[in-house]
Amino acid sequence: MQDYPAPLAALVDELRRLPGIGQKTAQRLAFHLMKAPEAEVQRLAQALSGFRAALRLCTVCNAVAEGELCACCTDPGRSDRTLCVVEEPLNLVVVERTRDFKGRYHVLHGALSPLSGIGPDELRIDGLLERVRAGGVEEVILATSPTVEGEATAVYLARLLKPLGPKVTRIAMGLPVGSDLDWADEVTLAKALEGRREY
Amino acid sequence: MWIERLLVRDLRNIAEAECALGPGLNVFHGANAQGKTSLLEAAGLVARARSFRTDDLKTVVRRGQPSLRAQATAVEGSRRSELEVELGGGRRALRVEGRPVTATDYHGRLEVAVYATDRLRVIRGSMRDRRQFLDRSAGALWPAYRRLLAENERVAAQRGAALERRSGDRFAWDERLLEHGTALRVRRATYARRLHEALQDEYRPGGETYALRLSHPEEDPAAAHEQLQREIETERAAEQASGRMRVGPQRDRVVLEIAGADAVEASSGQVRSLLLGLTLAVLALHRQETGHAAVALLDDLDSELDEERASLLCERVCAHGQALVTTAHPGWARRVARDGRLFAVEQGRVLAA
């Protein structure tokens, strides 16, 4: 069997390390790049080498930022009274897409998972507590994922935050809007029933 | 619900076999070690994507072959679906109508209840075997139970790790255990009670009394919650000191009794009868809950019962739905299969007799 030339094999190896990419996809991407115009490959290479240096974590909320503070933290149109806590920077982007939330964020960079060695000290919790202690925060929305780990993280944070004064809420879980009830799985439906509200 | 066609490739000693089954009784006969039980195992594999004989799936693939395939056409009313399980090289592929699906999507399309001597561990084996039998039977009936079970396993593993690390987030894992553990215990208790009730109406040779008891039979969520909370508090210091979990539904006891005594101590004959009674109770509960019959897989039935009783039992099971039965006795097979279909199994090949 003929092996790939070393530079191509190295590229396939690196691509394979990325989440969601297996051997075959890595090979396809590598061969695509080999045939692509030089300018296109150069643009990708520059984007890859430049983006890490250009980005940092916001010193207030830990979101991805270009400077010391992220766009949300510097936006004067946002309210300081509500804080939305998410696990990852990507979750913040998803909430932002709704264009409905006009408060501030706090990114934990993970969820509690003792199995993976992630305890409270590994998450960015101290900064959150400091922000609440500084005053002005009336509600903290815990928007961690509805997984076992996300729920435990929410429980943990709720216990620490409540004595500090703000209202602590958890995002609702249930049926996707616009979908037919017939297609809902039993567990999601059970959660939705549990979280029903009165009209 | 029944299996119209069963196709097996590279499973144990079966290179390839295909059978067109009937909606009632289907009898497979042949000498020992010819592949009769493997056909039942294939039907079980298509239904539950796991073998009822072993958890080590490597041993199920025919020697020298990379993978096995078990395929079935499942019929429910006027609806037919093609189900397929492929196993090999540490991978499991599940397909419906030829399309790959997730385990969550796959489960619940075909249900079976199994009587086979490989399953005697349910009665004689460890507490874990009995809990697993109960949880898997309940999970086959209620999809939410499967999710609850998976979440509980995850919570138990995380809480165990938190205790071992003596991590500061222990209270959050206690709370998770309390919520998930209570929900599982309540559901498990309901299933166990109903199975116990069904056990009273099903097969009981000589009128022996059978019972299924749980260490935590509480079905009221508030009471179950309070009980688990008490247990967590009682064990707090001991768990802290040892760094190990001492409470939770993953440790609860499931006891089977024959005439008031623990069935672990019962004779081989009694244990087989109880297993048969349990299988029939699972079938009855499935019918009550879903309104349709699961497929009965009854291995070597006439080694447990005399011919007349075995025939009566087949008649009773088939009055509700489909049964796949194996026997080493061709005479009985021919007599009992008068109203059904008969297959001869020889060296891994299946011949319609």
Please state the ipTM of this predicted complex. Answer: 0.81
**Which residue reads 């996809």 in tokens?**
A25
Please give the Cα distance from A88 to A76 (Å, whole number). Answer: 23
Task: Tally Cβ neighbours within 10 Å of residue A31.
Answer: 14
User: Does any CB of chain A come closer than 8 Å to the CB of residue B288?
Assistant: no
pLDDT value of position B345: 94
Q: Is A113 on the interface with B (CB under 8 A)?
A: yes
Nearest-CA distance B171 → chain A (Å): 7
pLDDT in tens, chain B (353 residues): 899 999 999 999 999 999 999 999 999 999 988 999 999 999 999 999 999 998 888 889 999 999 999 999 999 888 899 999 999 888 899 999 999 999 888 988 899 999 998 889 999 999 999 999 999 999 988 888 988 899 999 999 999 999 999 988 999 999 999 999 999 999 999 999 999 999 998 877 777 899 999 999 999 999 999 999 999 999 999 999 999 999 999 999 999 999 999 999 888 888 988 998 999 999 999 999 998 899 999 999 877 778 888 888 888 889 889 999 999 998 889 888 887 899 999 999 998 76
Contact A186 B164 (CB under 8 A): no
Which residues 36-95 of A are in CB contact (within 8 Å) with B? none
Contact B158/A at CB under 8 A: yes
Residue type (1 letter), A158 = A
B-chain residues near A187 (CB < 8 A) = 143-144, 147-148
Chain A residues inside the 8 Å CB shell of B165: 114, 117, 119
Test the A interface: residue of B169, B180, B186 with most A CBs within 10 Å? B169
For B111-170, the DSSP string reads: -EEEE-GGGGHHHHS-HHHHHHHHHHHHHHH-HHHHHHHHHHHHHHHHHHHHHHHT-TTH
**Which of B146, B158, B171 best probes binding to A when mutated, by most A CB atoms within 10 angstroms?**
B158
The DSSP secondary-structure symbol of B243 reads: T
- What distance in Å separates the CA atoms of residue B61 and residue B86, rounded to the nearest whole number? 10
Interchain proximity B176–A187, CB inside 8 Å = no
Confidence bin at A1 (pLDDT 50/70/90): very low
Window 179-198 of A: residues touching B by CB (8 A cutoff) are 185-187, 190
Non-local CB neighbours of A128 within 8 Å, separated by 6+ positions: A83, A85, A106, A108, A140, A157, A161
Alpha helix positions (H), chain B: 36-48, 103-106, 121-124, 127-141, 143-165, 170-201, 221-242, 268-290, 301-304, 307-318, 330-336
Residues 6 or more apart in contact with residue B173 via CB below 8 angstroms: A114, A152, B155, B158, B159, B162
Is residue B219 within 8 Å of residue B190, measured between CB atoms?
A: yes
Residues of chain B contacting A152 with CB distance shorter than 8 Å: 155, 158, 169, 172-173, 175-176
| Beta carbons within 10 angstroms of residue A91's beta carbon | 20
What's the CA gap between B273 and B100, in Å, rounded?
Answer: 39
For residues A42 and A194, the model is more confident at A42
Identify which of B167, B171, B180 has the shortest CB distance to residue A114. Answer: B167
Residue B155 near chain A (CB below 8 Å): yes
Task: Count CB pairs under 8 A between chains A and B.
Answer: 61
Q: Which two tokens stand for residue A115?
A: 């199995």
| Count of C-beta atoms within a 10 Å radius of residue B12 | 21
Asked whether the predicted pLDDT for residue A2 surpasses 60, the reply is no
Q: Measured between CB atoms, does B144 come within 8 Å of chain A?
A: yes
Per-residue pLDDT, averaged over A95-111, amounts to: 94
Tokens of B109: 């399309």
Q: What is the pLDDT of residue B270?
A: 87
Structure tokens at B327: 């026997």
Contacts of B23 (CB under 8 A, 6+ apart): B2, B4, B75, B321, B322
Residue of chain B with shortest Cα separation from A121: B168
Question: For chain B, first and last CA: distance in Å?
Answer: 24
Contacts of A117 in chain B (CB under 8 A): 165
